[in-house]
Amino acid sequence: MTDRDKAVFNTMRQPANNLRSGLADTLTAQIESGDLKPGQRLPTEQAIMQATGVSRTIVREALAALRAKGLITTRQGLGAFVANDPTTRSFSIIPNDLQSIDEVLRVLELRMGIEYEAAGLAALRRTSEDIDRMQDRLDALDRALEEGGYGAQEDYAFHRSILVATQNSYYSRLFDTFGDIMVPRQWARLDKMTAAERKRHAARMRREHHAIFAAIRDREEAAARRAIRTHLSKSAARFEELRDATV
């Protein structure tokens, strides 16, 4: 690794739980700026570790994230190279992107922007088939919560049914690139809750989702937007409390 590479890497000052994304962002910036050119070999894992002070696991996770985005390729026995066409092929969020509560909050911010508009459109455009689908997904979520589960997949399916109801397939296609990691259950901490806390959590989740559904079903555009914003804002507030409690 050259002195110039080290200087670039040494500008990375991220909290410990953001090291992987910090390193991935640094490498991405070097590729996008042309500092690392198409076909150029990346520094070795050992060189990156020495320059940044991160572990080999962090380096490998960062490189895996870049491979998933189409920015680099690997060659057996030779190492990692910048892709010949280092343009991100598609935007995606992968599980390793959600390694801190701050990152989860950024995803919730993104979701709020998308789903606020989608909920309003769904209220205006939904069909009877959409309502049946949403009701089915809502029932499945209710069952999962009643059984004490996380309900991540059921939660995702319900929110996706809202996007389908916009009659604009780009909304649901966007969510399909994320999958149910948009509902990061690894941070739910249900296992840390008492039975009473879990019961209150489940009741709150049910109220919020039922309010969204009712507004869309009744074609109340403004109410649908308020309900989805309230739901995601409360989710963000709960994650902020968890983050502050762990500082």
pLDDT: is 218 or 200 the higher one? 218
pTM for this predicted structure: 0.62
User: Residue range 95-110: average pLDDT?
Assistant: 74
Q: What contacts 210, CB < 8 A, 6 or more positions away?
A: 138
pLDDT > 70: what percent of the chain?
80
Q: Which two tokens stand for residue 116?
A: 């606020």
User: Residue range 195-221: average pLDDT?
Assistant: 92
Q: What contacts 235, CB < 8 A, 6 or more positions away?
A: 108
Give 19-64 pLDDT, tens digit per residue. Answer: 777 888 888 888 877 788 899 999 999 999 998 888 888 898 888 8
pLDDT > 90: what percent of the chain?
34
Burial of 123 (0-12, 13-18, 19+ CB in 10 A): buried
Distance of CA 12 to the CA centre of its chain: 22
Question: Which CA distances in Å does 116 have to 107, 122, 141?
Answer: 14, 10, 20
d(CA 172, CA 128) in angstroms, rounded, equals 18
pLDDT band at 10 (very low <50, low <70, confident <90, very high): low
pLDDT: is 90 or 44 the higher one? 44
The single residue listed with the structure tokens 């049946």 is: 132
Domains of the chain by start residue, with CATH? 3-82 (1.10.10.10), 96-246 (1.20.120.530)
155-190 burial: b if 16+ Cβ within 10 Å, else e: bbbbbbbbbbbbebeebbeebeebebbbbbbeebee
The single residue listed with the structure tokens 């020495």 is: 50
d(CA 122, CA 118) in angstroms, rounded, equals 6
pLDDT band at 176 (very low <50, low <70, confident <90, very high): confident
Q: What contacts 112, CB < 8 A, 6 or more positions away?
A: 228, 229, 232, 233, 236
